[in-house]
Amino acid sequence: MSHVLIIGCGVIGAAIAYELSLSGLEVTVLDRQPPAQAATGAALGVLMGAISHKIKGNAWQMRAASIKRYETLIPELEAVIMRRIPFNRQGILMLCFQEEDLAGWEKLAAVRSAQEWQLEIWNAAQLQSRCPQLNSEKITAAIYSPQDRQVDPVALTLALVEAAKHKGVQFHFGVTATGYYLDNADQRMYLQIENAQLSEKIKDVDWLVIAAGTGSTPLQWRQESTSRDRTPIALTFAPTQQAQSTPAVEIKPVLGQAIHMRVNQPLGDPNFQPVITGDDVHIVPCLSSQPMTDYWVGATVEFSANGQVVADATQLEKVKQQAIAFCPALAQAKIIRTWSGLRPRPEGQPAPIIRHVPGFDNILLATGHYRNGVLLAPATAEKIREIVMRGE
């Protein structure tokens, strides 16, 4: 039975661990933080599948596969952990403003129909009837995607971890990996971590999966002098200034900020609470609040300046005002909290990165999902499972 080691326990690492556990593999997960931190802890969990403009190729196939898998995954996990996971099945509503050309949406709706997915185009009267909380002054239409979803990313990740533990997956948090080496004698890989006692327990593995998001950036490989029973090729997780070092993957952080807001009563019809999005601003109902009075609003897209990414309060205020513009009731909302996180954006290549590290047949990257980590987690886990099982 192969032993798979996963570095990183955000939603991607947790999903991979759970998926691999269903195949009877021995799985160990390490993270220097508790689960569901970093990008996962900051995400809104909006699952934009059918409503996206991706219509073919890997980009669409992964979205479609993930949306379908969520329909079975959520009840599957709930049956194991014996509690509900906040999962909004009421779809996504995208607002169209005065300058928007609906012809593109009509074409997309036709494509989705042929693919056996549903998109509805609502006129202003239909929108006002279904969502009276919206200011329709500048909204000419809306696209409703009833099959798209939203899930609480933290609750989902913790559920994946708990369910994977039931299947025998071992998790170790507060552990930093520093390197990985291939032994010449038996062709086994050995982990180097900042915990000698644990290092003895995880002495060798068959597969290494890097699912560390922005934490994947320090991953390097280089020629170095090692003991005679080790190969001269070493994979390290510590940045190095040596000229012969090569980054395995280049990930740039993109910051996102969001707000948790509370109103006195549900926005619009309490029985119809989809995710509402317009001008790339999301209003996300918090299903954990009963009655439905809490909403997440976000998120900003902030790139680094001079190598640093610092949250800009004016960007968050702009997102808040945009949300209020098409949902005026939010102007009276109480701010419960604000937060931010760094999304892992690949440099010079499309997201996500799911492939072998060059030169290593049994080291895989599952990282760089940028703004779609929660959406693509199930499909990513399935791709990793397929690669590992093919190598069995």
Question: Is 18 inside any structural domain?
Answer: yes
The CA–CA distances, whole Å, from 177 to 33, 195, 219, 236, 373 equal 12, 9, 10, 8, 22
Q: Do residues 359 and 244 both lie within one domain?
A: yes
Q: Do residues 386 and 321 both lie within one domain?
A: no
How many residues are recorded in the chain?
A: 392
Q: Do residues 360 and 308 both lie within one domain?
A: no
Q: Do residues 225 and 298 both lie within one domain?
A: no
* Axis crossing angle, helix 153-166 with helix 11-21, rounded to the nearest 10: 30
Mark the ranges of the chain whose per-residue pLDDT is less than 50: 222-234, 237-244
Per DSSP (E only), the strands in 124-186 are: 139-145, 149-151, 170-173, 177-183
**Predicted pLDDT of residue 289:** 81
**Predicted pLDDT of residue 223:** 41
Q: Do residues 303 and 163 both lie within one domain?
A: no
Q: Do residues 280 and 302 both lie within one domain?
A: yes
| Number of structural domains the chain divides into | 2
Cβ–Cβ under 8 Å, residues 214 and 251: yes
Question: Is 62 inside any structural domain?
Answer: no
Q: Do residues 256 and 204 both lie within one domain?
A: no
**Predicted pLDDT of residue 67:** 98
Cβ–Cβ under 8 Å, residues 318 and 330: no
Cβ–Cβ under 8 Å, residues 199 and 191: yes
Question: Is 8 inside any structural domain?
Answer: yes
Q: Do residues 245 and 270 both lie within one domain?
A: no
The CATH number for 293's domain is 3.30.9.10
Question: Is 22 inside any structural domain?
Answer: yes
Q: Do residues 182 and 325 both lie within one domain?
A: no
- Domain span at 92: 88-149+252-346
The CA–CA distances, whole Å, from 170 to 137, 195, 223, 390 equal 54, 16, 32, 23
Question: Is 363 inside any structural domain?
Answer: yes
- How many Å apart are CA 36 and CA 15, to the nearest integer? 11
**Predicted pLDDT of residue 231:** 42
The CATH number for 28's domain is 3.50.50.60
**Predicted pLDDT of residue 305:** 75
Q: Do residues 220 and 192 both lie within one domain?
A: yes
Question: Is 65 inside any structural domain?
Answer: no
- How many Å apart are CA 218 and CA 201, to the nearest integer? 25
Reduced 3-state DSSP string for 344-358: EEECCCCCCEEEECC
Q: Which tokens in the block code for residue 142?
A: 């809306």
Burial-class residue 213 by CB neighbours within 10 Å (0-12, 13-18, 19+): buried
Question: Is 310 inside any structural domain?
Answer: yes
| Residue 254, beta-bridge partner list | 343
Q: Do residues 130 and 257 both lie within one domain?
A: yes
Question: Is 20 inside any structural domain?
Answer: yes
Q: Do residues 114 and 233 both lie within one domain?
A: no
